[in-house]
């Protein structure tokens, strides 16, 4: 992996860092010189990811929708490193149901993990952040689109984009930059789990690709590279923004 040590000496937290975009970003961050804390609910996946990342990474098991778990994550970071320079609030889930089939559980699960999880990840990280730190929150192109069948997931992502705007104002005195990243369809375990069988997943992905000007799904590392940009000094004058990395899908 070609790198230029853009994050040398930085301490980073990536929630949902055991698979997909989060794991790819953890790999990039380590390659760029950062020390990375990753989280996830499943202990075995967490252990495997940390082993893959090597001695510049540490895993803390936890669910972002649990405030007690977030307290434990932050206490571990405080004890081990004393500060956090970069927060990538990435953990999220997607479930699709048309409006007439939405249930309370479907609503609560997605808002609890995707929105409440990000709100309290960021809030609880604040005491560890020095002036000039970088926060990146995981939105999605669906926050600006209306593809159909995924209104609750899309609404969580629109909420996240909004949080990045207001927090930019809330945190301006501390020169903390807050940006949202909005991927298009990216090849990850999460994307593949949206459809039932492997055949249905292939069909679902082929259908999505038809709406992507670049004519393919994105790779998790293509998002990771954009997160490195938002985490590093290369984006020193970028805040409150939404960076689309979507092969053009939401731009046309
Ligand atoms: N893939 C795409 O096409 C795409 C496009 C736009 C936006 N996104 C967003 O990008 C983020 C990552 O997506 P992905 O496709 O990489 O997903 P993924 O392959 O399913 O990976 C999700 C990661 O988040 C963790 N996670 C899920 N719920 C969690 C929770 N409650 N607490 C802590 N960790 C949790 C998972 O581990 P555990 O299950 O063990 O907790 C895993 O490490 C999500 O926010 C998603 O909405 C994805």
Q: What is the pLDDT of residues 189-227, one digit of tens each?
A: 999 999 889 999 999 999 999 999 999 999 999 999 999
Q: Is the CB of 247 under 6 A from ligand 1?
A: no
CATH topology for 11-186+220-245 is Rossmann fold (3.40.50)
Q: What is the DSSP letter of 130?
A: P
Question: Under 8 Å CB-to-CB from 92, ≥6 apart: which residues?
Answer: 16, 113, 114, 117, 138, 156
Orientation of helix 67-80 relative to helix 117-125, angle to 10°: 30
Closest residue to atom 15 of ligand 1, CA basis: 190
Instruction: Give the distance, in angstroms, between the CA of residue 210 and the centroid of all CA atoms in the same chain.
Output: 25
Q: Is the CB of 70 under 6 A from ligand 1?
A: no
Ligand 1: distance of its center to the CA of 219 in Å?
14
Ligand 1: distance of its center to the CA of 113 in Å?
10
Active site residues: 153
Residue spans of the chain under pLDDT 50: none
Ligand 1: distance of its center to the CA of 207 in Å?
21
**pLDDT score recorded for residue 1:** 80
CA-based radius of gyration for the chain: 17
**pLDDT score recorded for residue 195:** 87
* Strand ranges of the sheet holding 11-14, from the earlier edge strand across to the other edge: 57-61, 35-40, 11-14, 86-89, 134-138, 177-183, 242-245
Residue 46 alpha carbon, nearest atom of ligand 1: 40
**pLDDT score recorded for residue 68:** 98
Q: Is the CB of 22 under 6 A from ligand 1?
A: yes
* β-bridge pairing 35-40 and 86-89: unpaired
Q: Where are the domains of the chain?
A: 11-186+220-245
Are the CB atoms for 167 and 110 separated by under 8 Å? no
Ligand 1: distance of its center to the CA of 23 in Å?
10
Q: Is the CB of 42 under 6 A from ligand 1?
A: yes
Q: Is the CB of 183 under 6 A from ligand 1?
A: yes
């Amino acid at each position: 992996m070609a790198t230029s040590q853009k994050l040398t000496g930085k301490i980073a937290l990536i929630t949902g860092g055991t698979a997909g975009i989060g794991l790819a970003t953890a790999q990039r961050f380590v390659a760029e010189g950062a020390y990375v804390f990753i989280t996830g609910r499943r202990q075995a996946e967490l252990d495997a990811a940390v082993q893959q990342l090597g001695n510049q990474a540490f895993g803390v098991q936890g669910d972002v929708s649990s405030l007690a778990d977030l307290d434990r994550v932050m206490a571990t970071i405080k004890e081990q490193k004393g500060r956090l320079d970069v927060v990538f609030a990435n953990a999220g889930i997607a479930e699709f149901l048309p409006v007439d089939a939405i249930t309370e559980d479907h609503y609560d699960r997605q808002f609890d993990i995707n929105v409440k999880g990000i709100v309290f990840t960021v809030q609880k990280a604040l005491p560890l952040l020095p002036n000039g730190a970088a926060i990146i929150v995981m939105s999605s192109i669906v926050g600006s689109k209306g593809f159909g069948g995924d209104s609750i997931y899309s609404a969580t992502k629109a909420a996240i984009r909004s949080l990045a705007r207001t927090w930019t104002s809330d945190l301006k005195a501390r020169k903390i930059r807050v940006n949202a990243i909005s991927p298009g369809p990216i090849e990850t375990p999460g994307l593949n789990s949206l459809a039932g069988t492997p055949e249905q997943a292939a069909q679902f992905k082929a259908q999505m690709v038809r709406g992507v000007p670049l004519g393919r799904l994105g790779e998790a590392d293509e998002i990771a590279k954009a997160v490195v940009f938002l985490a590093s000094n290369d984006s020193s004058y970028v805040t409150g923004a939404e960076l689309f990395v979507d092969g053009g899908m939401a731009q046309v």
